[in-house]
Amino acid sequence: MAGNKKKNIKPKSLDKPTESPPGEEASYFTTSDMANNAPGSPMLQGNFEGPPTKDPSSSYLSGSDPEISGDGTEVIKSDGYLEPHREYFGQRFAHFKRWVRDIELSEGGIDKFSRGYESYGLHVTAEGVRYREWAPGAKEASLVGDFNNWDVAANPMTRNDFGVWETVVANTADGQPGIPHGSHIKVTFVTGSGERVYRLPAWSRYVTQDLTKSPIYEAVFYNPPQRYTFKNKRVVPEADLCIYEAHIGISSPEGRVATFKEFTQNMLPMIKDLGYNAVQLMAVMEHAYYASFGYQVTSFFAPSSRYGEPDDLRELIDTAHGLGIAVFLDVVHSHACNNVEDGLNQFDGTDHCYFHEGGRGRHELWNSRLFNYGHHEVTRFLLSNLRYWIEEFGFDGFRFDGVTSMMYKHHGIAYGFSGHYDEYFTGNTDEEAVVYLMLANYMCHKLYPGFVTIAEDVSGMPALCRSVSEGGVGFDYRLTMSVPDMWIKMLKETRDEDWDMVQIAHQLTNRRYQERAITYCESHDQALVGDKTLAFWLMDKEMYTHMSDMSPLTPIVDRGLALHKMIRLVTCGLGGEGYLTFEGNEFGHPEWLDFPREGNGSSFHYARR
């Protein structure tokens, strides 16, 4: 598990020229806002309900929803070079429409389908704690834990025709849940080969790790007597986004893992004072290896316990909303950690429960598993995961990581995109993954108007940021990943007097027409160990000796400070419809990021800001 995962596969970045119009601010409300319309009324947990999909007049019925009434070729009108690929766009859109139709017929609509977190996993009911899990390859299943002394015979599970297992742990004699809050739990399966295996529930909402005993996570039943109640209404993400990308754990000058509460108290007021209107949180979804930067997810529904409890994250987001700051989540649906005991790998004893089997289900450079986006239950799991983070925590947007890896069968490994359209619309493209992204964007925007989705894509995929109704993939923004590469290349290879301002302006405005972009000079990628921040490229070792008022201002520091400001100014002005910076880089933090690992003596010295 390499923390610097993107560095391994980064192909040549390509963006198309455009005059991208400014983004239009969308109204942002939920159906419960309309029902409970009192000004200033508190937004309470769990009141973000979607429209009634069983209503014959519902816009979710495939025959009446304008989102899917076309043929998916509208994007060709503004880009004639897409005309030879009209058939591809039509087939892809038809594939998407079949998904929406099948979900409507089998599940009652995408709203209900994407609420799997309300029925799967552990839930307190009047009868007891109900537990449901999809594990089609298992022959037997039982829920075990502290509550039943890990007795595999105490709470056996029954299976339906679709491979879903279920059991109810009865309440105690005094009416309390049969599983106490804080209990350690696991699900145990007997596999097709007769082996008994133990797994963490796939829909676990809280898992903990005690490194003094083992690096393996333990699932914890999270049912505190008092739950956090949201006090502030959710905010409308602004059309002109200014995003502060942050990692909770490094948000402290001390050599340790910082917490949600510390971020709430110390970082949010600073982010507000700096003028940012959105914060993008990395490494929130639970990941076994801290040095993976959050990109080796083991428990998709659990906020990382390194930083505190789930209610601490709710408080963080609620406080941000009170300050008028939107909160975005870095979502990792491009792959999953290879771990077996505390991950999804070989969950039911087979190689292909949540993932493709064989080579297609493995990322050879990331040493991780690749989802089977064409499977009904896998799609339920992933869409429900998105809904869960919105409904339960109040996130206002998603930044989808590793979109390039998802969209292409070669995953972008050792592949340089030239910009020829055949690279995007032939056998290279993984249509199942692209259609999943269309479903995810369709769902987010349909159920939560004004919700923001951002794609991390280095390929320049045409129509990635056009609406699903037009035949696009549906993202609101793409990251201009070629811009930081340009600045670093210039600083490394070009003398100041040889800077080509025409080329700089061209590169900063070189993006696709009608597709919005988030630009940046440097993100977490440029801060990782092995690279340098822009400030360090500009001033190098003199940052340690000549940055004080007590020392003389040297030409190197004078030049560095000036260019550090000008690079940000011109990038923000020309580079896109939104701007992003990684924490610490706004003031020119000199150090790279290096998380504690065996190679550095498990040191936190470079894992702090």
Active site residues: 401, 456
Q: Is 303 helix (H, G, I), strand (E, B) or coil?
A: strand
Within 10 Å of residue 547's Cβ, how many Cβ atoms?
18
90 near 431, Cβ under 8 Å? no
265 near 224, Cβ under 8 Å? no
Nearest Cα neighbor of 517 from 444, 569, 461 is 461
Give the strand pairing for 207-208 and 158-159. Answer: unpaired
Q: Is 478 helix (H, G, I), strand (E, B) or coil?
A: strand
Long-range contacts of 408-416 (CB under 8 A, 24+ apart): 408/459, 411/9, 411/363, 411/365, 412/9, 412/10, 412/11, 412/458, 412/459, 413/9, 413/364, 413/365, 414/9, 414/11, 415/11, 416/11, 416/12
Sheet holding 121-124, edge to edge: 121-124, 128-134, 164-170, 158-159
Nearest Cα neighbor of 528 from 294, 275, 237, 188 is 294
d(CA 483, CA 487): 7
Give the strand pairing for 477-479 and 517-520. Answer: parallel
Would you call 10 exposed, middle or buried from its count of C-beta atoms within 10 A (0-12, 13-18, 19+)? Answer: middle
d(CA 64, CA 57): 8
417 near 11, Cβ under 8 Å? yes
Quote the strand ranges of 509-550, DSSP E. 517-520
Phi, psi of 333 (to 5 degrees): -115, 5
Pull the structure tokens for residue 228.
């956090």
Helices (H) and strands (E) in the chain, counts: 16, 22
Phi, psi of 488 (to 5 degrees): -65, -40
Q: Per-residue DSSP letters for 140-204?
A: EEEEEEGGGTT-TTTSB-EE-TTSEEEEEEEPPTTS--SS-TT-EEEEEEE-TTS-EEEE--TT-
415 near 458, Cβ under 8 Å? no
Tell me, what amino acid is at 467? S
600 near 263, Cβ under 8 Å? no
Q: Is 35 helix (H, G, I), strand (E, B) or coil?
A: helix
Pull the structure tokens for residue 200.
């963490």
Q: Is 566 helix (H, G, I), strand (E, B) or coil?
A: helix
Within 10 Å of residue 292's Cβ, how many Cβ atoms?
23
Angle at 555 between CA 551 and CA 561, to 5 degrees: 85
Nearest Cα neighbor of 128 from 185, 166, 184 is 166
Nearest Cα neighbor of 567 from 545, 541, 547, 585 is 585
